[in-house]
Amino acid sequence: AQKVTQAQTEISVVEKEDVTLDCVYETRDTTYYLFWYKQPPSGELVFLIRRNSFDEQNEISGRYSWNFQKSTSSFNFTITASQVVDSAVYFCALKDTGRRALTFGSGTRLQVQP
Amino acid sequence: GAGVSQSPRYKVAKRGQDVALRCDPISGHVSLFWYQQALGQGPEFLTYFQNEAQLDKSGLPSDRFFAERPEGSVSTLKIQRTQQEDSAVYLCASSWGQRGAETQYFGPGTRLLVL
């Protein structure tokens, strides 16, 4: 069965600090996909990134970067020089070949203080 | 282009009432998903459509929940005889393909409160 664990329930940082959100996953499949979504107070889930299990290259997009490590089943997300607009709940999700639906973690609430 | 839209955005129902939640997916998207998100939790899968066919309804919590997508575009999630435990945000998502690997794009959700 699939499982996603986001152990950090809430993180509070001051603007311009770097912050890393942890995600650990479990799956028996060798082919799977990992996602990060952002949920601002408005409620809509905003897609951030998708990674395939066979591509372990880390990725950087502006102030965002992702570290995918199959050896530790982790897919961590780092925000560099955080801004108040980054305040939201961030969800990590997994999709393997067993089902079409996403399995989500419980989310990490990030608060960036000015 | 337009994203996924959902209506109503907020719904208050008295216990025992029936409710209908609507989802308009991104135009051309074949796959449509419904998720339920309880307060402080991650979304949980309810059901999945490929065009008009409901291929997976394993997440529907009871036979009071029913979903349809008769013409392969707009979908309706219906909850009969609502209970307080049905209070949650109901999220709809769509993806363009049917292989299952495509990214799901979410709507703003319908926040249901059952009194």
Q: What would the pLDDT profile of A33-63 be if each residue is shown by its tens digit?
A: 999 999 999 889 999 999 989 888 888 889 9
Report the chain A residue with the minimal C-alpha distance to residue B98: A100
Residue B107, pLDDT score = 95
CB contact under 8 A, A43 and B104: no
**Two tokens, residue B20:** 């209908």
A42 interaction partners in chain B (CB closer than 8 Å): 108
Q: Is B100 in Cβ contact with A91 (below 8 Å)?
A: no
B78 vs A98, more confident:
B78
Give the model's pLDDT for residue B44: 97
The one-letter amino acid at B10: Y
Residues B16, B81 contacting (CB under 8 angstroms): yes
Query: B106 and A95: CB-CB below 8 Å?
Result: no
Give the DSSP letter string of chain B. Answer: ----EEE-SEEEE-TT--EEEEEEPPTT--EEEEEEE-TTS--EEEEEEETTEEEE-TT--STTEEEE-TTSS-EEEEESS--GGG-EEEEEEEES-SSS-SPPEE---EEEEE-
- State mean pLDDT over A105-110: 98
Distance CA A61, CA A45 (A): 18
Q: Which of A44, A93, A99 sits opposite B107 (nearest CB)?
A: A44
**Tokens encoding A36:** 């990060």
Q: How many angstroms separate the CA of residue B39 from the nearest CA in chain A?
A: 10
pLDDT of chain B, 115 residues: tens digit per residue: 589 999 999 999 999 999 999 999 999 999 999 999 999 999 999 999 999 999 999 999 999 999 999 999 999 999 999 999 999 999 999 998 776 678 999 999 999 999 9
Residue with tokens 């409710």: B19
pLDDT reported for residue B75:
98
Q: Is B94 exposed, middle or buried (0-12, 13-18, 19+ CB in 10 A)?
A: buried
pLDDT surpassing 80 at residue A98 = no
Interface test with B, best of A90, A92, A100, A104 (most B CBs within 10 A): A100
User: What value does the mean pLDDT take over residues A70-93?
Assistant: 96
